[in-house]
Structure 1
Amino acid sequence: MEPAAAVQIWQRTSSYETPLRFTSFLSDGDSKAYTAVCEAKVYGDSTIEKEECTNHVSKRLGTALRKLATPLPRGEKLKDPTIQKLQMYYKIAITSNKSSVRGMYTAIWASYFHSCSSDGAGSHNFCPAGPNSWCKHKRAEALGEPAPRHTPLLTKAQGMAILPIYKRLTDEKLLARCLHGKTQNAAESLNSKIWLLCPKTKFASRTTVETATAIAVLWFNKGHTGFEKVLEEIGVLPSEDLVMHGDHCDQTRIKKMNTKQTAEARAHRRSTVKRARSEETTRKSQEGQSYCAGGF
């Protein structure tokens, strides 16, 4: 369904009176929709560039680490907190070095070697220098302070085992598709509004799905004021109370969005997620595996 819809969207632009053309395609790494659009050759020989969603690219590292094929010594299995940290470091390296493939490459390897570094074998050559560096060793060096002691996040065996994964995920072609640092958050937000009006768990006719999609798009782009325009188009004059309620809802939505973007709100979300993960890890260690498809 997605490939057919993508091709249809691309084909519409060729009939527009304006010279609008879609030259890039933001999707997952294994998107069949992008392949379908390229094979359709909507714009003739003109190529369509593929861009990667940075969220999905960083998740590839986490998935690869959880499915690590290289056997590790007893007691050195990668734990979820370690994997989550490495995945977060990888994502930050990409998002903080937009428009520079070399910058992404250096930052990713800096996080890898920093995680393998120990008191006896320091590996901070790739870490950024200066008093404001995220690396406490480079920061201490710039300030003329003694190097702090530290415990490596990864053991030597773990570092060698995940090295091929890092080599694969630092490929220049892959990083080049992340140059714009874009995500699919907007599309996922729109999808959530569609499923809010028309849940996927219940059967709905085509008319219902199309109506829910139209309402969700209007709601997503124009807010509640968009519904007032629809009423005016069909000859219904919105009441003053309805207009005031719509304005209040839109202002509340914007206020909440601005609040969620503050540093305090982000720190609170991170601490909440960290606490939930810690509780889940504790439950797993106490109860063991409580669910496995076909395993009981």
Structure 2
Amino acid sequence: MEPVRMYRIFSRSEEQYGLKYSKYLGDGDSKSYTVVAEADPPLFEGIKIEKLECCGHVQKRMGKRLLDKVAQKYVMKEIKPVFEDLSSDDLLQRCLHRGTQNVSESFHHLVWERCPKSSFVGRDRLEIAVSDATIVFNEGEVGRCAAFEKLGLPVGEHQYSGFRKLDYQRVEAAQKEAKAEKRQIELKRGYRQQGKIVERKYTKLEAFKLWKNDIPRE
């Protein structure tokens, strides 16, 4: 059932939202990715759907497979293949986005921002916090505009533009943070030169320039 539902989600994205999904976030054993990536005819002409790994699933697989291998003797011999398999460059590259399928963690974070767990609140405030978090989680800050209209509060152009700006800044900040972390990982690994891995230490200024140049500018 899951592959069928995922195919429907991808196939109606352009009609409903005017979007073409170019990335798929899922666990390594998911059959849904194969369904959407190898659809015939292709779901989106000229777009190859990229597979992103769920960081949470990779972490769990590492722990589970290591525990299955643990024994009193020859432990290193048994667990080394697990490390090599789950620390491959290809797999880690697909985890740099830091995304996870466990969306409940992100949603809970939005709720507690509006209604901290450290303070007691009444039911009304809790319901408002959950409702607002649900709107922002599903539609972004701009989703509040529809709620205001239903409450009889007209939304002006400046208010709408402000919400759109907040959404843009949030996405841009997340992308910059992910790229910065990716650059730090690459700097620590060193770079390949004449077929050999050469370690190099960068000054803070050099590292900043490399990170800055990696971010496309309009």
Classify the TM-score, shorter chain: 0.3 to 0.5
Tell which structure's C-alpha radius of gyration is larger.
1
Query: Which is bigger in relative contact order (C-alpha 8 A, separation at least 6)?
Result: 1
TM-score by length of 1: 0.36
